[in-house]
Chain A
């Protein structure tokens, strides 16, 4: 009996997806050329590795870690020390392999810390990682020999003449190095999900007890996965060290760990590609979103509330749901609803945004006059008109949104029913 026949048609699709991914990585800096864009792209690559490695724990192993930055961060520190050793000539390895040093460091620390953390799952695991994270962060300021104190440790990635003009001076060269690492790491982590250990990790997540009755040691499965996740986390840290050429204590901080958790979840922990989306959003949120508005933290918080409530599977699950609808050929009838939803949602956002921005303006900026522009519309933060206008827009938007949402939900439900019937029918065949 040949069993993997059903992978055949998918394999073509898979080749396509991976080639597209590679292509995307290759052309991105040709499209977005500014200095900021290149470093943002680099950071996205780095974040993608970090979030995927985090999701090995969260999504695939059911381990909620509050201290993943420990492994990315320590990887970064080790990598920058390695880089400095390379610069000093005491470590004869090419600069391009420095991230691997970070990976090794992540691995070693995961071996050390993972031994105690992965003995338990659930809340106990979460809390140990929280405690370890705090400890490592506190230590980072107390032991300047290794962590470089407040200023951190800096290095210089340009060592010697380089090879064929590649000396990693120009950010674009570093970007391509990161892109290569990103591609390989993503591929490796995807491959991992298809291996016996990867599958058993899912089993451990679902039912650690039962795993022991099919011959596996649940603890050991968790531990091994933790080590592998630590390795990739370290690589991501090492790439970060190369990109910034400086590593400071913030890389092991709780803020980082929290961000990995939040954005991995936002992207979608249940699908492999979810964390990739999450990572991209993370970089956008921290680098660009915060430049657009002072109220970015507020928006971020609200986005999380809404996502957790209405799309607990993250963005990836939304996409997959629509793909499923598309597979049954019924996505097309939804676009009107989507359009309506988007438009009304934008109206709500405009109303709410105008009010939020006015409050912020009043608070931070009032001396510059009470006028401000919000998406091109002049507003007067002290004028009743603007406030009434914004409130009106908000309320109308809310009303319309709710209306369209209901219509959409009915339609959506009907389609789901249809799909369910179809699957039942197919099963019965």
Chain B
């Protein structure tokens, strides 16, 4: 469904991705692992058309490299950025509203489902999102993206700053998304959860994919874990 090939990305003059190549199939959770600064977030941004890049990104058989972020979003890729990027002056509910691509039409997901998933958000639905606690903001960004009814969702470190119990919960929900037929590209730091829920794992190092396989094979590959993940 998503096919990334020979992707090179640049921030101004600095070359960050060096020929990244992988794919994501329908209904699959793919974990993208790696150390800080290895280029995982950049990969996500490159797919979304937010950084300058060359190579190829095919989505459902169509080349999307060079398209604008909002066009890509309309094609059905959802993106949850890593630094939360909630809209601080808007209320929780308004944040969710902005997730919808067209007002009032939300596809597979409704406000109620979102609130059922994270009751905490319902309690705070009329609060300005800027004052939410760090964890609440994380929940909000996830829901906001889901409201746009994507087929593939790229999540950058969703469990960052979440209490252990919630981390578990997020894992739970990601699996549920998968059951609903969504694909997930999960960028994670916490190996435990990534390994627990993903179908395949990719490891990045210095801007390219250095490992590609199932979680089990990664668990078995001590070299990769030591060299590229330092666990």
Cβ-closest chain B residue relative to A420: B13
Bound together, the chains give a CA A416 to CA B13 distance in angstroms of 8
Cβ-closest chain B residue relative to A416: B13
Interface size class of A (residues with CB under 8 A): under 10
Interface size counted on chain B using CB atoms at 8 A:
2
Q: Is A150 an interface residue (CB 8 A)?
A: no
Q: Is A417 an interface residue (CB 8 A)?
A: yes
* Chain B residues closer than 8 Å to A413, beta-carbon distance: 13
Cβ-closest chain A residue relative to B14: A420
* Chain B residues closer than 8 Å to A420, beta-carbon distance: 13-14
Interface residues of B in 10-39 (CB under 8 A from A): 13-14
* Chain A residues closer than 8 Å to B14, beta-carbon distance: 420
Interface residues of A in 397-429 (CB under 8 A from B): 413, 416-417, 420
Count CB-based A-B contacts (< 8 Å). 5
Bound together, the chains give a CA A372 to CA B14 distance in angstroms of 53
Contact with A along B3-15 (1 / 0, CB 8 A): 0000000000110
Bound together, the chains give a CA A396 to CA B13 distance in angstroms of 32
Bound together, the chains give a CA A416 to CA B14 distance in angstroms of 11
Bound together, the chains give a CA A87 to CA B13 distance in angstroms of 66
Interface residues of B in 181-199 (CB under 8 A from A): none
* Chain A residues closer than 8 Å to B13, beta-carbon distance: 413, 416-417, 420
Bound together, the chains give a CA A179 to CA B14 distance in angstroms of 48
Interface residues of A in 60-79 (CB under 8 A from B): none
Cβ-closest chain B residue relative to A414: B13
* Chain B residues closer than 8 Å to A416, beta-carbon distance: 13
Cβ-closest chain A residue relative to B13: A417
Bound together, the chains give a CA A417 to CA B14 distance in angstroms of 8
Bound together, the chains give a CA A413 to CA B13 distance in angstroms of 8
Distance of B88 from chain A, by nearest CB (Å) = 14
Cβ-closest chain B residue relative to A424: B14
Interface residues of A in 223-249 (CB under 8 A from B): none
Contact with B along A236-278 (1 / 0, CB 8 A): 0000000000000000000000000000000000000000000
* Chain B residues at the A interface, C-beta cutoff of 8 Å: 13-14
5 closest pairs, A vs B, by CB? A417-B13, A420-B13, A413-B13, A416-B13, A420-B14
5 contacts across the A-B interface (CB closer than 8 A)? A413-B13, A416-B13, A417-B13, A420-B13, A420-B14
